[in-house]
Chain A
Amino acid sequence: MKIAVCVKQVPDATVHKRIDPATKRLDRSGEATLNPTDLNAVEEALRIKEAQGGEVVLVSLGPAKATDSLRKALAMGADRAVLVSDDAAAGSDLLGTCRVLAAALEREAADLVLFGQASSDGDGAVLWAAVADRLRQPMISQVASLTVDAGSITGKRQTEHGYDVISAPLPAVIGVSDAINEPRYPSLKGIMGAKSKPQESLSLADLGVEPGAAGEAGSETTVLELGSPPSRGDQIKIEDDGSAAQKILDLVLERRLL
């Protein structure tokens, strides 16, 4: 079983994320990490591989420095990584991104494509559906438990009204929920081994994607203006030194909430 996991490098949680007012794009210059919920997708892929054998390939679109983040998933146990990195792809919206990823995934011809819950920067939680449509494959999203049998996959997922169990033949595209598993920590052996695992870097031309199909030229949405959201008012900050409970009660009483 060949499993492709789509992953993304995002600004680290400790970085104050900002949109560059000049380019109206996310400032990606600071400390970066692998998108946290992508780890659930990597973990699930590794579990399937451990049960059934096969290969786990990471597929990503991002700047050249994203290789650092991909190494973390290689250290967890993924076999190799494919990074599409091209200046002409920078600033891709959903449409541009799904064209590039679909091209990279077509090249891999995986039996199963996994996505994590949502990126911590874009927060769309929709990319799998766009990619599945491009690949013309069945898709199941928000999957909280997954079983893979010979030639088919079954996922259980939560909706607004309860739980659905959905089945599809392979190849298929799956978006997993962050409730599906607890991602493993890389072992020391895994971390050492990751350095020698194959990392391939591809341009749009390598994939046969026209420059005008990705990046800002290939995007159908625009960012017009940046503003400040309505504020909730001043925030009271408490760091617990043993007195937090008393401080909370005082504030609750002061605001007549009891």
Chain B
Amino acid sequence: MQKTYNPAIHFQQVDFHAGNTHILKRVTGSFPQGRITTLVGPSGAGKTTLLKLCNGLISPDAGEIFIKNKPIGSYDPVELRRQVGIALQSAPMVGGTVMENLHLPFQLQGKKLEEKEAASLLDDVGLNQGFLGRNVKDLSGGQRQKVSIARTLVNHPEILLLDEITSSLDRTSTKEIEELIVKINTKYGTTIIWITHNLQQALKVADYTWVMMEGEVIETGESDLLKDPVNEKVRKFVKGEEA
């Protein structure tokens, strides 16, 4: 499948342990540049660990990860994390206003985020300028996720990692976020890797899908593979999720 695209990220025989638990088992595969790939699979499959490896929050115990064909270890960690942004599932916020949260990535670099730019980022994620002064405590789950995505976009990452960002949202908010992600991908050409439990979501927004189970990549390919899976394990998983 990836023949037509350069890999934005490539995993080569990657292993990861947490204590005595083998989380990722010889994971190999690529995420095509400029496309949306979803990671699906049951809880405990190692999906979040895989995202954190891409952002350099953790390192593999064995194997190699390549970002744009360069070993991840050759990147300065700070530079890597600015290029490969991650929106975490819990959408953690620093105390204060939406503006303070949007300013955070620039603050860490000793720069100032202009209000105009902050407003433009909010607009990108479908929130109006009035939210800038709002305390993050007063945001709904969907608004919080949007702010979290906008904050990640401040660094203009080439790769955006999304960890189950719609899992706790209602249908309307979920639809808004889906449209937003497609818009970011189209507008900026950002490579997106998105963990989701929602198979319909994977079919709707993603070009490609990885199915992971118990730390292993079971199947990769165009998202249509979820419609009629060949692999027996994937078939069972899809059936279970649809039930």
Whether chains A and B associate is no
Interface residues in chain A, defined as those with a beta carbon under 8 Å from any beta carbon in chain B? none
Interface residues in chain B, defined as those with a beta carbon under 8 Å from any beta carbon in chain A? none
